[in-house]
């Protein structure tokens, strides 16, 4: 089984919304730090949002998405979601789900190192 599989990407206009979903399986189900990253072609991958599954209230967001994006974990369904509202053209990127194991929730943040990533799902926002 592929440990992280994303879906939900697509094309929307500025101001629109999308919800990305990531199914976790195998060892990724037991990871205590899950996150969403994005990458624009030719640029470095950047952290978007993270959640510490041991305490789901512990979330971190990149400044560029605060107030617009919401990360959530459904442990019963083994899924990770990213609700994206008020989308902007600069949100256009390939979005990746990622997992890691961290000793403390403070270490589970958008600047942390993650072990593995999914194959990605494309989000395109047009003006």
Compute CA distances 88 → 34, 36, 92, 93, whole Å.
24, 17, 8, 11
Bridge pairing between strands 59-61 and 10-13: unpaired
Task: Look at residue 127 and give its three-state secondary structure.
Answer: coil
Question: Residue 41 has what pLDDT?
Answer: 87
User: With pLDDT > 90 as the criterion, what percentage of the chain qualifies?
Assistant: 95
User: With pLDDT > 70 as the criterion, what percentage of the chain qualifies?
Assistant: 100
Do residues 112 and 47 make contact, with C-beta atoms less than 8 angstroms apart? yes
- The helix or strand, by DSSP H or E, that contains position 33, with its residue range, turns out to be strand 33-39
Beta bridge partners of 11: 124
Average pLDDT over residues 57-83: 97
Residues present in the chain in total: 127
Question: Residue 1 has what pLDDT?
Answer: 78
- pLDDT-derived band of residue 32, with 50, 70 and 90 as boundaries? very high
Average pLDDT over residues 33-48: 96
- The helix or strand, by DSSP H or E, that contains position 72, with its residue range, turns out to be strand 69-74
DSSP one-letter code for 79: E
Query: Residue 12 and residue 126: Cα distance in Å, rounded?
Result: 6
DSSP one-letter code for 102: -
């Amino acid at each position: 089984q592929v440990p992280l599989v994303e879906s939900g990407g697509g094309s929307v206009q500025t101001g629109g919304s999308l919800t990305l979903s990531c199914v976790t399986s195998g060892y990724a189900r037991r990871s205590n730090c899950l996150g969403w990253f994005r990458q624009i072609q030719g640029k470095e991958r950047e952290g978007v949002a993270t959640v510490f599954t041991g305490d789901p209230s512990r979330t971190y967001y990149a400044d560029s998405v605060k107030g617009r994006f919401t990360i959530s974990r459904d442990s019963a369904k083994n899924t990770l979601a990213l609700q994206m509202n008020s989308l902007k053209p600069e949100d256009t990127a390939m979005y990746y789900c990622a997992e890691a194991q961290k000793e403390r929730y403070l270490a589970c943040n958008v600047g942390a190192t993650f072990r593995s990533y999914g194959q990605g799902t494309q989000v395109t926002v047009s003006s």
